[in-house]
């Protein structure tokens, strides 16, 4: 079988950042898949499922309700390796285009207080597996170490 594109990225060189993973045609639209890498693969500990689950609920709710991007959001969800998230947007975008949106999103998560949207048995299949304090910590870390002063090496996959 042919190796898929995401497995051709050198994960030993990959830093936390915001990367365009791929662009696909869907009818008349371009779908841009972003790799929101929050931890350095194979160097840092991966995120636990509880904080990833909390980030997923908060981010999906925030993004789908966003006044500008809400209708363009197709998907926000975790990577199986637990080092980040995928964001799929309807449209032809580059990494730099969504830095303001990602900053707004992770500030929302960092500052969030209250019940996590959808964190109840009726709305979620594993609602007890959530960790808001750790989600807030990881959001703050991503903002401070990546988003607030993002460099080119964190916007384009390493060669």
- Contact by Cβ (8 Å): 92, 32: yes
156: alpha, beta or left? (left if phi > 0; alpha if psi -120 to 50): beta
Query: Within a domain: residue 80?
Result: yes
- pLDDT, position 7: 84
Instruction: Give the count of domains, the chain.
Output: 1
Encode pLDDT of 94-107 as tens digits. Answer: 999 999 999 999 99
- Structure confidence at residue 8 as a pLDDT band (50, 70, 90): confident
Query: Within a domain: residue 6?
Result: no
Give the residue-averaged pLDDT of 72-101: 98
- Contact by Cβ (8 Å): 29, 90: yes
For residue 93, is pLDDT > 90? yes
- pLDDT, position 6: 80
Residue 38, domain extent: 11-151
- Structure confidence at residue 17 as a pLDDT band (50, 70, 90): very high
C-alpha closest to that of 39 among 146, 156, 157: 146
- pLDDT, position 2: 86
Task: Determine how many CB atoms are found less than 10 A away from the CB of residue 157.
Answer: 20
Query: Within a domain: residue 4?
Result: no
Query: Within a domain: residue 158?
Result: no
For residue 44, is pLDDT > 90? yes
- Residue 147 maps to which CATH number? 3.30.1360.80
Q: Is 114 exposed, middle or buried (CB count within 10 Å of its CB: 0-12, 13-18, 19+)?
A: exposed
Query: Within a domain: residue 133?
Result: yes
For residue 9, is pLDDT > 80? yes
Query: Within a domain: residue 156?
Result: no
Query: Within a domain: residue 90?
Result: yes
Encode pLDDT of 108-118 as tens digits. Answer: 999 999 999 99
Query: Within a domain: residue 124?
Result: yes
Task: Determine how many CB atoms are found less than 10 A away from the CB of residue 96.
Answer: 13
Give the residue-averaged pLDDT of 132-152: 98
């Amino acid at each position: 079988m042919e190796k898929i594109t995401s497995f051709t990225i050198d994960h030993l060189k990959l830093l936390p950042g915001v990367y365009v993973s791929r662009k696909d045609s869907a009818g008349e639209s371009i779908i841009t898949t972003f790799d929101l890498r929050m931890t350095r693969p194979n160097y840092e500990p991966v995120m636990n499922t509880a904080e990833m689950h909390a980030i997923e609920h908060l981010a999906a709710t925030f993004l789908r309700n966003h006044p500008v991007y809400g209708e363009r959001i197709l998907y926000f969800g975790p990577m199986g390796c637990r080092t980040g998230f995928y964001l799929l947007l309807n449209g032809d975008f580059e990494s730099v285009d969504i830095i303001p949106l990602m900053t707004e999103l992770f500030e929302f998560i960092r500052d969030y207080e209250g019940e996590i949207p959808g964190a109840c048995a009726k709305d979620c299949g594993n609602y007890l597996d959530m960790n808001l304090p750790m989600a807030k910590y990881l959001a703050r870390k991503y903002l401070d170490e990546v988003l607030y002063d993002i460099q080119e090496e964190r916007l384009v996959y390493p060669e």
